[in-house]
């Protein structure tokens, strides 16, 4: 059961980009895939006590889709055996319909209804039974196109409904012991996964806000009155806690009102206008780029340039998420407080699902892979390609890079891709970028490298005692220490010297500056110095990959650059 829940979640996560690309209802903000992936992360730990699991679902739920789904799964995941699935599905569906004040047919609620209708009381999870279940859910997704005028106008099925179909497909086939029997989503819904050129997005403003508040002295009805001036309001009670989702024009006003009611234990907000603008400008080309989030890249970068990011996982205390779903401040604040943090790779199954998902959607894919010396991603991708890519549609390059060097290579290739349709030239450009891109990372302390086993604790002790700050460069053969300096001023001097050795002052180079918990200093002092020396260069500011941040610690910053 637990493996089946994880299989469903990982199949869903790998197709979050597809869901985002068709997300037009209730707002064309392109975040349903992300919201469902974040909201259902607790499914990885469904073996924990039921009360704790339900509370984690409450805390993690994001957006309309995530809040509705979390209500369904708070019941469905309580099933202790296959025999209880039908009953728990009925309970979950009732809770899902009650989660919103204005539930609509044509959404994921249809898929939950269809599951209740088709799921036998005594399920025998064999292939025939599973095929019947999946066939009924498929029909429910197709029906959303006819049920919501907004979807018909766009020419797509509902993103949330499709997300639940993808989840249950992975779940039930894993339950039956046939996890690789899933059909390509683009084959099943081939005419309903591309937004029509005639579709016009509605203009929206304000913020999509999700928060959890502990308010023991207020009832759900009182909270409804307080939030009555907002839109898309969802209020989910759980003991003294309330999960509230809403759309508002003034998030700070909402926050100040809510703070007076109790203790806000979780808060997240998205700018609707910027999300819709990103959604409008999403594009596809002759070649799709996939790379690893270890390259100091964000989900916003992926949407802007139209590439796919493969996340590693980050654990901060008891909270585990894909690394791009954390805010840098959350990591470095925890590290400064001594909270235990660690990283882990996505499972082999999840990585395979990503390879499948991009080839379902795109004719050719270039995977700019994190250096094989740092992870097993490259070897794993090659093995999968050998077994599943007979038409040679997935092109894989071992960049030998991580953090800013990998990110700079990926961004440069994405920018070049926007200028040409010649795949051979793009591949050649990518290989040149791999050869010529450099990166230097400046650490504040050695203790984090030592904690990760990348440096002896004795070396770290003496390095920190002598107030020496190491400088490393991620290379194909591994991270190499290239120097030691005493302070930030010397760090900047060394960075400028490394740039001067490769760039002329009038260079049109692409330069990436990476920050940890020192964004203001990097964006101010360092960027200003660079801009004065290289006025023609394209200088971008990026958060250091949080995977790298775990191993290098607060105070770290870096510079990666690609000559013109």
Q: pLDDT (tens digit, 9 = 90+) per residue, 459-483?
A: 444 455 557 889 999 888 888 889 9
According to the model, what pLDDT value does residue 46 have? 83
Band of pLDDT at residue 452, cut at 50, 70 and 90: low
DSSP string, 470-504: EEEEEETTEEEEEEEESSHHHHHHHHHHHHHTT--
In the chain, % of residues over pLDDT 90 = 64
Per-residue pLDDT, averaged over 234-239, amounts to: 84
Per-residue pLDDT, averaged over 310-324, amounts to: 92
Is the model more confident about 343 or about 258?
A: 343
Q: 278-435: same fold as 207-273? A: no
Sheet of 469-475: strand order equals 478-485, 469-475, 438-442, 557-562, 510-515, 538-543
Nearest to 199 by CA among 64, 31, 22, 17: 22
According to the model, what pLDDT value does residue 560 have? 97
- Per the CB < 8 A criterion, the answer to whether 516 and 327 are in contact is no
Is the model more confident about 534 or about 475?
A: 534
Q: What architecture is the 278-435 domain classified under in CATH?
A: 3-Layer(aba) Sandwich (3.40)
State pLDDT tens for residues 60-116: 888 889 999 999 999 999 998 999 999 999 999 999 999 887 889 999 999 999 999
According to the model, what pLDDT value does residue 100 have? 82
Q: Quickly name the fold that domain 438-562 has.
A: Hypothetical Protein Tm841; Chain: A;domain 3 (3.30.1180)
Beta bridge partners of 558: 441, 514
Name which of 30-44, 221-235, 354-368 the model is least confident about.
221-235
Q: Quickly name the fold that domain 2-188 has.
A: 1.25.40
Run of H or E residues at 239? none
Beta-strand ranges (E) seen in 196-286 are 207-214, 231-238, 241-248, 263-271
Q: What is the mean pLDDT of the chain?
A: 89
According to the model, what pLDDT value does residue 519 have? 96
Domain boundaries, the chain: 2-188, 207-273, 278-435, 438-562
According to the model, what pLDDT value does residue 68 have? 94
Per-residue pLDDT, averaged over 437-463, amounts to: 67
State pLDDT tens for residues 108-153: 999 999 999 999 888 888 889 999 999 999 999 999 999 999 999 9
- Per the CB < 8 A criterion, the answer to whether 50 and 177 are in contact is no
According to the model, what pLDDT value does residue 122 have? 84
Q: What architecture is the 207-273 domain classified under in CATH?
A: 2-Layer Sandwich (3.30)
Band of pLDDT at residue 454, cut at 50, 70 and 90: very low
Band of pLDDT at residue 268, cut at 50, 70 and 90: confident
Say yes or no to pLDDT of 180 above 90.
Answer: no
pTM above 0.85, yes or no: yes
Band of pLDDT at residue 533, cut at 50, 70 and 90: very high
According to the model, what pLDDT value does residue 102 have? 83
According to the model, what pLDDT value does residue 455 have? 47
């Amino acid at each position: 059961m637990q493996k089946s829940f994880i299989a469903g979640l990982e199949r869903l996560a790998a197709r979050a980009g597809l869901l985002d690309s068709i997300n037009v209802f209730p707002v064309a903000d392109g975040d349903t895939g992300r919201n469902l992936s974040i909201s259902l992360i607790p499914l990885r730990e469904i073996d924990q006590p039921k009360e704790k699991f339900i509370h984690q679902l409450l805390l993690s739920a994001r957006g309309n889709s995530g809040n509705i789904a979390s209500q369904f799964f708070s019941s469905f995941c309580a099933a202790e055996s296959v025999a209880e699935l039908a009953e728990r599905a009925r309970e979950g569906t009732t809770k899902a319909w009650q989660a919103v004040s204005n539930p609509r047919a044509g959404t994921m609620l249809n898929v939950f209804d269809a599951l209740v209708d088709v799921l036998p009381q005594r399920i025998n999870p064999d292939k025939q039974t599973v095929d019947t279940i999946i066939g009924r859910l498929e029909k429910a997704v197709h029906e959303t196109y006819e049920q919501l005028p907004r979807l018909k106008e766009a020419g797509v099925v509902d993103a949330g409904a499709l997300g639940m179909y993808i989840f249950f497909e992975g779940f039930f086939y894993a339950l039956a012991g046939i996890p690789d029997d899933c059909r390509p989503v683009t084959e099943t819904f081939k005419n309903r996964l591309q937004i029509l050129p005639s579709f016009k997005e509605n203009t929206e403003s304000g913020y999509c806000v999700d928060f959890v508040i502990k308010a023991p002295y207020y009832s759900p009805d009182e909270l409804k009155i307080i939030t009555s001036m907002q839109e898309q309001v969802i209020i989910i009670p759980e003991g003294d806690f309330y999960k509230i989702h809403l759309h508002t024009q003034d998030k700070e006003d909402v926050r100040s009102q809510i703070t007076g009611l109790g203790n806000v234990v979780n808060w997240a907000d998205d700018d609707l206008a910027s999300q819709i603008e990103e959604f409008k400008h999403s594009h596809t080309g002759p070649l799709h780029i996939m790379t690893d989030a270890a390259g100091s890249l964000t989900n916003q970068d992926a949407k802007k340039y139209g590439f796919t990011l493969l996340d590693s996982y980050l654990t901060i205390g008891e909270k585990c998420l894909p690394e791009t779903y954390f805010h840098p401040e959350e990591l470095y604040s925890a590290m400064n407080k001594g909270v235990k943090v660690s990283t882990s790779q996505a499972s082999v199954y999840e990585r395979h699902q990503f390879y499948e998902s991009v080839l379902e959607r795109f004719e050719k894919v270039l995977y700019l892979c994190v250096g094989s010396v740092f992870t097993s991603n490259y070897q794993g991708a090659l093995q999968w390609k050998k077994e599943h890519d007979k038409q040679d549609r997935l092109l894989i390059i071992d960049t030998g890079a991580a953090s800013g060097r990998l990110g700079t290579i990926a961004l440069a290739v994405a920018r070049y891709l926007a200028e040409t349709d010649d795949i051979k030239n793009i591949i050649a450009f990518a290989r040149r970028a791999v050869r010529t891109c450099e990166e230097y990372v400046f650490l504040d302390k050695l203790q984090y490298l030592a904690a990760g086993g990348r440096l002896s604790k004795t070396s770290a002790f003496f390095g920190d005692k002598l107030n020496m700050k190491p400088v490393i460069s991620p290379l194909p053969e591994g991270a190499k220490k290239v120097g030691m300096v005493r302070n930030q001023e010397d760090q900047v001097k060394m960075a400028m010297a490394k740039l001067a050795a490769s760039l002329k002052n009038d260079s049109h180079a692409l330069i990436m500056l990476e920050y940890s918990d020192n964004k203001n200093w990097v964006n101010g002092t360092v960027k200003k110095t660079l801009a004065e020396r290289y006025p023609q260069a394209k200088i971008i500011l990026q958060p250091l990959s949080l995977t790298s941040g775990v191993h290098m610690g607060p105070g770290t910053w870096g510079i990666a650059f690609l000559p013109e």
